Amino acid sequence: MTTTTEAPLREPAVVSTEWRPRIIAFLCNWCSYTGADLAGISRIQWDPSVNIVRVMCSGRMDPTFVAKAFSMGADGVIISGCHPGDCHYQEGNYKTLRRFHLLKRLVEGFGIDGERLKLVWVSASEGDEWAATANEMAAKIRALGPLEVSS
Amino acid sequence: MSKPKLALYWAASCGGCEIAVLDIKEKILDVDAFFDVVFWPVAVDFKVKDVEAMEDGEIDLCLFNGAVRTSDNDYMAHLLRRKSKLLVAFGSCACEGCIPALSNTTTKTATLDWVFADSPSTVNPDRVMPQTVTETPVGTIELPEFWETVKSLEQVTDVDYYVPGCPPQAHQIWGVLEAVIDILENDKPLPPKGTVLGAGDKTCCDECPRERQEKKIKGFKRIHEVMPDPDQCLLDQGIVCMGPATRSGCGGLCVAVGVPCRGCYGPAPNSKDQGTKMVAALASVIDSDDPEEIERILDGIVDPVGTFYRFSMAHATLGKVVVGTPDSSGNGGES
């Protein structure tokens, strides 16, 4: 006869009171997301405050997505696409590049530090590059501190 | 049968929407014939206490123009909401903040300092500022409180319909009133709550008589710096035109006479944020792949925030981000 024993109660997890930034990273499906995937496969660790949202192309990035991320509590936003000339859809990343420069001016116009918005190019083979980007951004946002949002 | 009751009110607005209602000309007589105008401070001598004395829901239709920036505006918004069956946000200020809401880019203190003390045409060495309560020999005088942020009508109370425009165009106003009269007279069903009335369901470009060739440009120009070609798209000519990010309905009035669209009909259908849509539209006409050149081209756009959100600042998504301390003067930015 088997007896079931209740699993011992776990020790309550220690909840860190340290503030952790929330960084949203929009990664293109073909280069940057694969690059981040490679970083994972290669067991490269990167800062867990960076949360990835996969988009088909960095050119799909409507500037509204970035504004919405900030308004919903993101402390920083990364947009990452294929290197110039490598876009799966020929020129999506060039569209992103143009939008990014204007969007950054808009974000700064609302008094938000422009450093909180970053555009990078990461290819599918650049796992280490992605990890470095994420760590660098997380360190920068930690230094800048949290961004408050009104209800 | 008694006539349906109509109320019109202005909160933080310039009064242009009131004049626009009179722009329907002799049709105003039809409005008066059908409705019993029970409240309209600009034209009819009823007082707030008359509205307060009414039963809840007694007013059939209330056209509310103006943004909400003081405690008095807020009180009137709630009062008229309670007394009206249908509350309509009438005009750009009530719909999305319009020009008054541009002061959301700065602080209440900075606004009051400029208006009452620092502007070149003001002499106020003692820096006398308006107070909510002032004791005088003849009694206590009260003023409404001036808010830190300007809000649209829907941000303070429940709104049934929206009529955009700065001001709404006369033919659109008459179209809306005619439809309401038809609905009330013939007991027809109302449009779904939240419908934008008196406007189109496309963008301003759709009504623009100019020819768009989707040209790429190497520099932006301001309208006073050039004599625009009368037939070509203004954006194709490097003039910042809000057309692609703005709702249709005005009939393309400005663009038809060579003035770029300023965006007064608010964000295009299915879009909530006019500014970020404009970023996407404007970036697509830049003819460069070089970051430095792109920056140089963008230098031609003066004040992107004020230009892209000239009429919709109260609803700007990024406006929710709190930067700096509310009491500090100036722009209170992070950097």
Say if residue B181 is in the same domain as residue B287: no
Give the whole-angstrom CA distance, residue B94 versus residue B68: 8
| Residue B328 belongs to a domain | no
pTM of the model: 0.90
Residue B24, CB-side half-sphere exposure with 13 Å CA sphere: 20
Predicted pLDDT of residue A11:
66
CA-nearest residue of chain A to B294? A98
Q: Predicted ipTM?
A: 0.90
Give the whole-angstrom CA distance, residue B309 versus residue B264: 10
Give the whole-angstrom CA distance, residue A101 versus residue A91: 16
Predicted pLDDT of residue A144:
94
Q: Which domain holds residue B277?
A: 204-319
**Quick check: B276 and A63 CB within 8 A?**
yes
List the pLDDT tens digit at each of the 335 positions of chain B: 689 999 999 999 999 999 999 999 999 999 999 999 999 999 999 999 999 999 999 999 999 999 999 999 999 999 999 999 999 999 999 999 999 999 999 999 999 999 999 999 999 999 999 999 999 999 999 999 999 999 999 999 999 999 999 999 999 999 999 999 999 999 999 999 999 999 999 999 999 999 999 889 999 999 999 999 999 999 999 999 999 999 999 999 999 999 999 999 999 998 989 999 999 999 999 999 999 999 999 999 999 999 999 999 999 999 988 875 443 334 444 54
Give the whole-angstrom CA distance, residue B146 versus residue B198: 31
- Minimal C-alpha gap between B21 and chain A (Å): 35
Which of A70, A106, A107, A150 should we substitute to test contact with B (largest number of B Cβ atoms within 10 Å)? A106
**Quick check: A106 and B304 CB within 8 A?**
yes
Say if residue B232 is in the same domain as residue B297: yes
pLDDT per residue as tens digits for the range B144-192:
999 999 999 999 999 999 999 999 999 999 999 999 999 999 999 999 9
Q: Does A104 touch chain B (CB under 8 A)?
A: no
**Quick check: A110 and B322 CB within 8 A?**
no
pLDDT > 90? residue A150: no
Say if residue B260 is in the same domain as residue B274: yes
Predicted pLDDT of residue B324:
57
Say if residue B53 is in the same domain as residue B86: yes
Cα B246 to Cα A55, A62, A79, B13, B314, distances in angstroms = 26, 16, 27, 21, 16
Chain B residues in contact with A107 by the CB 8 A cut-off are: 318
Say if residue B222 is in the same domain as residue B314: yes
| Residue B327 belongs to a domain | no
| Residue B196 belongs to a domain | no
Q: Per-residue confidence at A6, pLDDT binned at 50, 70, 90?
A: low
**Quick check: B304 and A101 CB within 8 A?**
no
Note whether A93 and A81 are within 8 A (CB). Answer: yes
- Minimal C-alpha gap between A16 and chain B (Å): 25
**Quick check: B289 and A84 CB within 8 A?**
yes
Say if residue B140 is in the same domain as residue B244: no
Selecting from B276, B288, B305 the residue whose C-beta is nearest the C-beta of A64 gives B276
Q: Does A145 touch chain B (CB under 8 A)?
A: no
Predicted pLDDT of residue B331:
42
| Residue B139 belongs to a domain | yes
Say if residue B115 is in the same domain as residue B247: no
Say if residue B278 is in the same domain as residue B170: no
Predicted pLDDT of residue A38:
97
Note whether B152 and B315 are within 8 A (CB). Answer: yes
pLDDT per residue as tens digits for the range A92-104:
999 999 999 999 9
Say if residue B23 is in the same domain as residue B87: yes
Say if residue B86 is in the same domain as residue B33: yes
Predicted pLDDT of residue A17:
78
Predicted pLDDT of residue B218:
94
Predicted pLDDT of residue B224:
92
Say if residue B156 is in the same domain as residue B83: yes
Q: % helix / strand / coil in chain B, to the nearest 5?
A: 35, 20, 45
Say if residue B227 is in the same domain as residue B313: yes
Cα B244 to Cα A45, B34, B266, B277, B280, distances in angstroms = 44, 38, 11, 8, 10
pLDDT > 70? residue A10: no
Chain B residues in contact with A68 by the CB 8 A cut-off are: 317
Domains of chain B: total: 3
Q: What is the CATH number of the domain that holds B176?
A: 3.40.50.700
Which of A58, A101, A151 should we substitute to test contact with B (largest number of B Cβ atoms within 10 Å)? A101
CATH code linked to domain A23-143: 3.40.50
| Residue B334 belongs to a domain | no
Q: Where are the alpha helices (DSSP H) in A2-147?
A: 32-41, 63-71, 92-109, 127-144
Predicted pLDDT of residue B166:
95
| Residue B130 belongs to a domain | yes
Predicted pLDDT of residue B12:
95
Cα B167 to Cα A138, B91, B92, B172, distances in angstroms = 46, 6, 7, 10
Q: Does A146 touch chain B (CB under 8 A)?
A: no
Which residue numbers of B have CB closer than 8 Å to A's CBs? 105, 271-273, 275-277, 279-280, 282-284, 286, 288-289, 291, 294-295, 298, 301, 303-305, 308, 316-324, 331-335
Selecting from A63, A67, A113 the residue whose C-beta is nearest the C-beta of B334 gives A113
Predicted pLDDT of residue B2:
87
